Structure 1
Amino acid sequence: MSSFEDNNPFAADGSVSPASSDHKTDYLDGVSARRQSITSTGDHSDFHPIEATDAQYPRPRSGNCCRIERFLCPPDGPNEIVVTDAGKSSEGSGASFIVYTINIGDYTVRRRYSEFESFRISLTRLFPTVIIPPIPEKHTMCMCSPILPLIQADYAAAPTKAKEDQNIIDHRKRMLQVFLNRCAALTQLQKEHVFHRFLDSNASWSEVLTSPPLSLIPKNVLKAPPLDPASAESSPNHQYLPTTISSSHKNKSVDPSDQEFIMAEASAKEFEAIIGGGVDKVNRRMMKRYSELANDYAELGARYNGFSLSEFGSLATAIERVGQAVDSNYVNTVALVSALAAAFAEPLGESIQFAGVVRAVLKYRRQKAIQLEMTIDQLASKRSQLEELEKSEIEAKRIEGALKRLDPQSTQPPGPKSLDGSDPKNADSVQPPATSSEPKVHKKKPSSSFKMFNKLNHALHGMIDVDPETTRRNNIGKTREMISQLEGAVGAAKTDTQRASDAIRKELCRFQKDKEADTIRLMVAYARCHVSWAERNLDAWKEAAEEIEKLRDE
């Protein structure tokens, strides 16, 4: 048996300390209403994802709750969040760390990478059916520098030092800004106060993590409703849902209704293999060669310039013009590598991460479906057990009735006896033992083996059921109670599975549109980078050729 919690992509890393009752009461007042329906904007021009209609996500209140929400939800669409700076900070502690400065309109907040990480984990627990955008990996091989092999070698040799490299910091800064703007474009998150508090400089993020709604989510999110895990109105039946998975359920044949999700998961794996193992791998190799080409251009330009110093007159000038054109190639190639890293390599890496996020959401839905099957099997098992207990009860009553008819006296309970086993009614006839003048003889103390036998005898008596009839009836009562609980759990699991399937189906449709728009934008950016590089190189060589032609005419 393996725990759902071990395989659950939405499980918390650790237990969350409960919030005070006052905080919970305040939150319960705010979450009583359901969130309004979500409508699609259909805007493909912006970088942000396209939204699909979804009316199933809870909403704590109507109107804007704070200044951050007013910024995120203006009438003309969400404003852009900008990560303006990244620098070292200690803030009272001995060790320094990198903090990222976030501008939300006129407001500024500073957050660490670890806070971004915990924020995203919190979102996946609050919205397990939503494809939450990824953040840049903590240990990533940065593609932002033209000296790529050097950066990779530095990172492998000294990760602590390399993670403070400006190229890596700039990479994270760009991708964290993309993450925040993608979150702001999701209508499910625009009204979420956890998002607002993350962007609020007056909010302590450690307090947000230990207060509602995050503190109301069960440690295992599979024990909560999929559309609103933090809802205080969730059914108590969820606590009876199983959290372990057996090999029989893990290897169970695929339900026809799950076929579309199985195909979606296979498609995500295929996309991840094609992009990660194919396009991204070749692109890394090409960028490495572009970096090497830039170094070669730099060296060749220096050679030409040195060659021009050894000549005189127009020949020296012509050689110098060629050297200048080669230097321009060096500068343009360095710019090409940087542009490809920002406009192509980074979004490509994000696409690979998105494929993993999609598979995690589909895995959650599959676990909810398996949870339903396990609950149904447990209910059937308990009903079968109750049937056997009731049969045993009927059989015991039948035997007891038959014995009464055969020998009414045999079923009468025996009368009380004295300690020595004699009948107390004849106690008067029992003569006391005669006194003797002989000296008393001290009895030997029981041996240790005799004491051990008494203990063993006592333990065996404790294991023997002295009242099987009462035990049987208690078992029947407990089994009926468990059946009632499992019936409620089956109802909750059916509702959860259906709602999770519907929400994830809509989310996959939204994500597919986003992926298509992002891929088109990615290909256009890739082409423009090369066109710009080629045009600037062509201009440099045209200018050199014109200058050389003038010299030849002279």
Structure 2
Amino acid sequence: MDESDVFTELEQDNNPLLHQPTPPCAANISPTANTRTTSPSGQALLDSFVDYSSTAIVNRSLGISQKIRKMMSLPALLTIDVVLTEKLPGTKVVVYLIELSAKKLGEPVVVKRRYLEFKSLRDTLVKLFPSTVVPPIPEKHSLLTYLINSIDTSREVSVVEVRRRQFAKFLRDVVFGKSSAQLKECPLFLKFLDPEYEFAWENAVREPPASLLPQNLLLANPNNPTDQNGLYFLMPRIAGFDINAPDNLPALRKINDDLHKVYGDIVLCKSKEPRASELRIMTQDFTNIPVELINFEANFHQNIHVLSDMHTLNSRNVRTLQQMVSVLIDLGANLNNFSLQIHELISLDNNQLSTTVEKFGSTVDSSFLNFEHFLYSHVTTSWEEPLTQFIQYYFSALQLIKFYKYKLLQYKILYKLKFSKVQELASYAYNQQSIKRLKDLDIDSPSIQMAIRRIESKLKLKGTQSKSWYGLFGGNKSSYPSVLDEDSAEDRARKVKSVGDESTGTAEKNIPYRIEQIEEELEKLDDLINLFNVDLSKLTASLEINLQEYMDKMERKWLAAMLALVRAGTQLFAENLVCWTEFR
């Protein structure tokens, strides 16, 4: 069997190496040519030639992918880090070198990624897993910040280094997080770490599962957005929904009260409407938001407020420490100069005053070095940066709550629409019975005939003005035909204008068709509501579990950050105590 047929079904077309043209020298190289001595330059050219038509490159690509998967399955042996940064030749584009390694698995895997690729990965993961908190990445700089950084090279280097550390934390949170196991197993994340996709990231986001995502996340399965069930495209569309926009909806506590009112309306409608059997209240109906989720939202907002205040206070403390370091630098320099002046004025072999002042200056210099190390190696990296990241974490969790609110709003819209349809159905049935009773009287009375025409006129106007549920949800009315729509627009306009002169037979004939259409719409609404009940219950349970694990994770992060700061402060004061003890 031909070897080229073995790999025909493998999805490796996005490898840029497969699309590179064959070198000109390859056309002149015969595989059956006699072996002969070549010049050093010719031999180097032959060694650099790669036969892209062979299966070796495909095997190498598969080997790297399998190696990455095997590394992910061994978290105890796995290490992942952003080891360094560099600029692409001839450009100002900064790339970050990701190193993935595991003991006993050979050479590490190294891949280069840009900031935009990190952002693209995270944005797609947020859409793929709307009930999981995706770790944050550094925020994109504004145009003003970019201009300032381009002028001040040292500031730009500092910003790049901060991003490198935060990208490393992002990758470690995804790979080693207990609540993010599905994130590290996502094919898109594995492609992000694959060097074969280093120059083909755009192809990766156009492949499944990312290519299966709908444009509007509200028109997808909230537990599996790549689900291709067509019913989800009939869900209500809510204008202004943006998963990355701020949350302007009421709190979950207020939405829960509205949900209780909707459930009360269901019960009331069932007891009063003659055709309310359509409102089937089933055991899986979603009627209440768990208290835990309501408390989570309040807790997140409170933590963001506290963290913002702490960030402000920390900025003041950093400025105070910087001023202290500056004062210690000046004091140490002045003491050293003063000791030299004393030595020049009093030229004695054993000048104790000069020696004492010099030791004093050296001790101050040691204190300055200790404070500087504490400030830039611990306060900035182990406390200030985590505070900023914690705020981003809580905002990421609130994005999940916001998505949940929009799904609840869809749920409410579905039931409100169903109430309207049930009332419309009851109205048609009641009017049909009224017309039948009046006609059964068989009395030639102008008042009775006027009452019949009045009822029929209302029915015709309602039929021409009403929209189907499919049209309300954004569908094309022409794709949902009914008997009432068979006439032309001109005929309908003429009928509406002269509705008082209509014959009674046409209205009576159209009423059963309209009732049949509403019943079909109610049946489809029942399917949507039943599907929504199941999805919303699963989404609620998933959010409870994931947010609780997220809270536990944040507690561990808080504890680690505070312990690191306490250890660094203890080390600072211990070293300063040793210096001043020796001076004494």
Superimposed CA distance per residue, residues 446-500 of structure 1 (whole angstroms, 9 cap, x where no aligned partner)? xxxxxxxxxxx99952754775456545533432232122111101111111111
- Given that 1:72 and 1:78 are in contact with CA atoms closer than 8 Å, whether structure 2 keeps it comes out as no
Instruction: Spell out the pairing of 1:323-472 with structure 2 (5 A cutoff).
Output: 323-338=361-376, 339-396=378-435, 461=494, 464=497, 468=507, 472=511
What SS does the corresponding residue of 2:554 show, helix, strand or coil? helix
**The 10-residue stretch of structure 1 (186-195 or 236-245) with the greater mean CA deviation from structure 2:** 236-245
- Name the CA distance, whole Å, in 2 between partners of 1:156 and 1:217: 33
Question: Between Structure 1 and Structure 2, whose CA radius of gyration is higher?
Answer: 1
CA 67–386 in structure 1, closer or farther in 2 if over 3 Å, else same: farther
Which AA in structure 2 matches 1:219? Q
Which is further off, 469-478 or 325-334? 469-478
Please say if 1:296 is aligned against 2:350: no
Amino acid at match of 2:317: M
CA distance in 2, matches of 1:539, 1:71: 46
- Partner of residue 511, structure 1: 550
Query: Which residue number in structure 1 is paired with residue 159 of structure 2?
Result: 168
Q: Does 1:286 align with 2:324?
A: no
| 1:480 paired residue number | 519
Give, as a single letter, the amino acid of the residue that structure 2 aligns with 1:322: F
Aligned length: 418
Structure-2 separation of matches of 1:311 and 1:100: 54
What do the CA deviations read for 1:44-72 (whole angstroms, capped 9, x no partner)? xxxxxxxxxxxxxxxxxxxx973322111
Higher RCO structure, 1 or 2 (CA under 8 Å, sep 6+): 1
Q: Is the 8 A contact 1:249 1:374 kept in 2?
A: no
Q: Against the structure 1 CA distance between its residues 161 and 70, is the aligned structure 2 distance closer, same or farther, given a 3 Å change threshold?
A: farther
State the alpha-carbon separation in 1 of the partners of residues 234 and 332 from structure 2.
74
In 2, the alpha carbon distance for the partners of 1:192 and 1:404 equals 76
Other-structure match for 2:210: 214
Structure 2 gap segments, 5+ residues each:
1-8, 14-63, 102-107, 241-247, 261-287, 344-350, 450-489
TM (norm. structure 2) is 0.65
Provide, for residues 506-538 of structure 1, a one-character-per-residue CA deviation record: whole Å limited to 9, x for no partner.
Answer: 112211221222122111101111111112222
> Which letter maps to 2:321?
Y
Aligned residue number for residue 193 of structure 2: 199
CA distance in 2, matches of 1:167, 1:484: 61
Contact 1:240/1:485, CA 8 A, preserved across alignment: no
Change (3 A) 1:482 1:159: farther
Deviation for aligned residue 1:245 = 7.8
Distance 1:459 1:380 in 2: 28
Match of 2:81 in 1: 82
Query: Does residue 1:530 correspond to 2:569, yes or no?
Result: yes
Q: CA deviation at 1:392?
A: 3.6
Per the TM alignment, residue 542 of structure 1 is displaced from its structure 2 partner at its CA by 3.0
Other-structure match for 2:148: 158
Residue segments in structure 1 that go unaligned for 5+ positions in a row? 1-21, 27-63, 141-153, 411-456, 546-554
CA contact (8 A) 2:150 2:156 kept: no
1:257 matches 2:289 = yes
Give, as a single letter, the amino acid of the residue that structure 2 aligns with 1:169. V
Aligned to 1:55: none
* Amino acid of the structure 2 residue aligned with 1:200: D
Superposition RMSD in Å: 3.4
Residue in structure 1 matched with residue 118 of structure 2 by the alignment: 116
Answer whether contact 1:81 1:104 (CA < 8 A) is retained.
Answer: yes
CA distance in 1, matches of 2:522, 2:95: 54
2:540 is matched with which residue? 501
CA 1:77–1:383: 2 relative to 1, 3 Å: farther
Compare the two structures and name the one with the higher helix fraction. Answer: 2
1:239 corresponding residue in structure 2: 233
Q: Is the 8 A contact 1:128 1:364 kept in 2?
A: yes
Identity of aligned residues (%): 23
- Rounded to whole Å, the distance in 2 between the matches of 1:291 and 1:248 is 42
* 2:188 is the counterpart of 1:188: no
Q: Does the 8 A contact of 2:149 with 2:156 survive in 1?
A: no
Distance 1:309 1:248 in 2: 70
